[in-house]
Amino acid sequence: GVRHFRAASLLSRKVMERDPWLMRGGGQVRVSHSSLNYKDGLVILGRPGVVKDWPIVPGIDFAGTVVESKSPKFKPGDAVVHTGWGVGERRWGGMAGLASSRGSWLVPLPAGMTPERAMAIGTAGFTAMLCVQALEDAGVTPEWAGGAPVLVTGASGGVGSVAVALLAARGFTVVASTGRPELEGYLRGLGAAEVVGRAGLADEAAHRALDKETYAAAVDTVGGLTLTTAITRTRYGGAVAACGLAGGGDVPRLTVFPLILRNVRLLGVDSVMAVPPLRARAWDGLACLLSPAALESLTQVVPLDQVPPLAADIIDGKVRGRVVVAL
Ligand code: NDP
């Protein structure tokens, strides 16, 4: 995977020269920053499930400046951000000097947001915002919650860290679940009111089809029994936004009881194919809600050659917050 990563990054300029997207109303972006997401870790390590055709340039997101555009929506010099749409999976990605995109896939950088900040948010932070929007669209507002806590699982990771900061900024009481108790200070700094151990959410012996109504809602990045428990502990009328599988792709021992007796909604969240209006709304929300100080506290910026070892770390659950890759 690492070998492919290096070779593909070197080859990217050649591919741009025969870029079919550009011919179809797309554009080329000079990438200043990309970021490292869980999926990038899988790709860079050569794990199955994400990429079908090797070699690939990894990087499921990027930010930078348009250098060439056949789309009427963008002109050279415009600052843009791209997440998802199969880039870094089925199409060559953002960890390169140049990347291509379509006009309808790019989002103009919100006023005042730098490309580095946009990638500190990146796919992970964008997904966290989609989760918060999904909860609010389901009626789970701070007013409705009335102080009852919202659970965030995998809280020290990229999606989790931004979700904690966003929910706290929106006025929710946040409970952060983590397997790294040493990061309690970090999570409280992002706005968590309480930090709980991840083991308590994945305890087979303690599992009940309907557990104590503890949380108004949850943002789950972990999946597996953790997701089941988040659902069984959500109070009447609440919702759980599920976006990840860091702990497993199944939802074991879930019954319909929380759904049909407590009216709990399970909300699936996908960032890759999210429609443009949802994207614009999410980036506006991120620009408004996330303070530069909070974002800085959860971000490290690294050069490209530090990405392969960090890819192994993100899959092992050892990365804290977000990793920006400076191109
Ligand atoms: P990270 O690796 O940064 O975060 C995942 C976190 O999950 C870890 O930091 C850790 O948090 C926790 N974790 C890791 N392994 C386990 C485990 N075995 N059991 C329980 N908890 C674990 O990844 P991201 O935040 O970038 O992504 C999180 C998930 O969301 C991934 O599955 C990713 O594929 C998915 N995702 C989905 C998107 C979508 O569009 N639906 C978009 C982006 C991401 P802690 O140490 O605090 O417990």
pLDDT at residue 160, as a whole number: 98
Q: To test the ligand 1 pocket, which listed residue (35, 43, 221, 251) has its Cβ within 8 A of the most ligand atoms?
A: 221
Q: Tell me the per-residue pLDDT of 164-207, one tens digit each, with 9 for 90 and over.
A: 999 999 999 999 999 999 999 999 999 999 999 999 999 999 99
Does the C-beta of 83 come closer than 6 Å to ligand 1?
A: no
| Average pLDDT of the residues of the chain | 94
User: What is the β-pairing status of strands 322-326 and 26-36?
Assistant: antiparallel
pLDDT at residue 18, as a whole number: 46
pTM over 0.75: yes
Single out the residue of 130, 148, 163 nearest to residue 284, CA to CA. 130
pLDDT at residue 25, as a whole number: 59
DSSP state of 87: B
Q: To test the ligand 1 pocket, which listed residue (34, 38, 227) has its Cβ within 8 A of the most ligand atoms?
A: 38
- The arithmetic mean of pLDDT across residues 219-241, rounded, is 98
Over 196-260, what HEC string results? EEHHHHCCCCCCCCCCCCCEEEEEECCCHHHHHHHHHCEEEEEEEEECCCCCCCCCCCCCCHHHH
Q: How far apart are CA 306 and CA 319, in angstroms?
A: 13
As a whole-number percent, the residues of the chain with pLDDT over 70 amount to 92
Query: 261 C-alpha to center of ligand 1: Å?
Result: 30
pLDDT at residue 16, as a whole number: 46
Q: Tell me the per-residue pLDDT of 67-104, one tens digit each, with 9 for 90 and over.
A: 999 999 999 999 999 999 999 999 999 999 999 999 99
List, in order, residues 6 or more apart from 59 with CB less than 8 Å away.
31, 34, 35, 40, 87, 88, 93, 94, 95, 96, 99, 325
